[in-house]
Structure 1
Amino acid sequence: MSSALHPRPHTLWEEGRQPGREVVSLGFALLLTAAVADLLLSEGLGLFFDLVFVTVCVAAALAVRPRDFFAVGVMPPLAMALVVLLLAVAERGSIARPDDGFAQAAVAGLSRHGIALALGYAACLGLLALRRSFVARRPR
C-alpha cells in the first residue's frame, strides 16, 4: 500500500500546530483565570493555581508549533511573575502578609510558588526538547 493513501498518524510530538502567540496568550489568560478562581475559593493563591500552572505549561509545550518553541519556552517564568506582580498590586494579602511592601510581597509570592514554577518550567522545557529532537530526526 502506498503511504500517500494511508499516511501514518501524527505522534504526540508532532501534534502541536498552534502559533506561539496564540498559545502564550491563552496560557496567560488561563493562569489569570485560575488565580481569580483560586482567590474566590480560598483566602490566597494556593494549590489549585499551582496545579493549573503546571498543566498549562505542559499543554503549551505540546500545543505550540515547532518554529515557535522559544515563545513557549520563556512563558512559564514570565507568566508566574505576571500573576504574582498583579496580585502584589491588587491583592497583596493573597500572596504575602497584607502589610508587606510591594517588592517583599512579590518575592514572597514567587517563593511560595517556586516548586510549581520549577516543575512547570522543567516539564515545559523537557517536552520542548523532546519535540525538537523528534522533529530534527524525522524525514522531510
Structure 2
Amino acid sequence: MSHARTIWEEGREPGRQVVALGVALALTAAAVELALAERISWGFDILFVLLCLALALLVTPRDFFTVGVLPPLLMLLVFTVVAVARRGALGRPDDSLVQAVIAGLAGHSLALCLGYGLCLGCLAVRRSYVS
C-alpha cells in the first residue's frame, strides 16, 4: 500500500536547478526592490526568507548540502551585484564596493539568519523523514 507523500518527502529538483532558480529569484527580488524603492529594504528580506525555505523544500535529498550552504552565498552574490550596479542602495553612495556589500550584509543580517535557520531546519526535518 502506498502512502501519500508529505511535504518533507516531495523535493525532487536537482541541486543545480535549485541553485539556478534561487539566484534568478533573488536577483529578480532585488531588481524589483530597486525599481520600486531604489533601496534594498524589508520587502527583499521577506522574499529572501521565503525563498530559502522554498529552496530547502524543492531540492532532492541527494543535494541537501548544496542548498544547505546556499543562503549566505546567495545573499553575498545578490549584494555584490547590487553594489556594482548601485552602491547607494545598500549603503552610502560614496562607499567602496566592499563597504557597500558589508553594509548590505550587516543591514539585512536578520533576514540572512532567519532564512539560513529555516533552510537548515527544514533540511534537518526532511532528512529525518527520508532516512
Q: Establish whether residue 21 from structure 1 lines up as the match of residue 24 from structure 2.
A: no
Structure 2: how far apart are the matches of 1:106 and 1:59? 25
Q: Alpha-carbon deviation of 1:103? A: 1.3
Q: Alpha-carbon deviation of 1:43? A: 2.2
Q: Alpha-carbon deviation of 1:90? A: 1.2
Structure 1: how far apart are the matches of 2:97 and 2:55? 30
Q: Alpha-carbon deviation of 1:64? A: 0.5
Unaligned runs of 5+ in 1: none
CA RMSD of aligned residues (A): 0.7
Q: Establish whether residue 47 from structure 1 lines up as the match of residue 42 from structure 2.
A: yes
Match of 1:132 among 119, 127, 130: 127
Letter in 1 for 2:14: P
Which structure shows the bigger proportion of residues in helix conformation? 2
Give 4+ residue runs of structure 1 displaced > 4 Å after superposition: none
Structure 1: how far apart are the matches of 2:7 and 2:81? 34
Structure with greater Cα Rg: 1
Unaligned runs of 5+ in 2: none
Q: Alpha-carbon deviation of 1:134? A: 1.3
Percent sequence identity is 56
The aligned residue for residue 100 of structure 2 is 105
* Count of residues paired in the alignment: 131
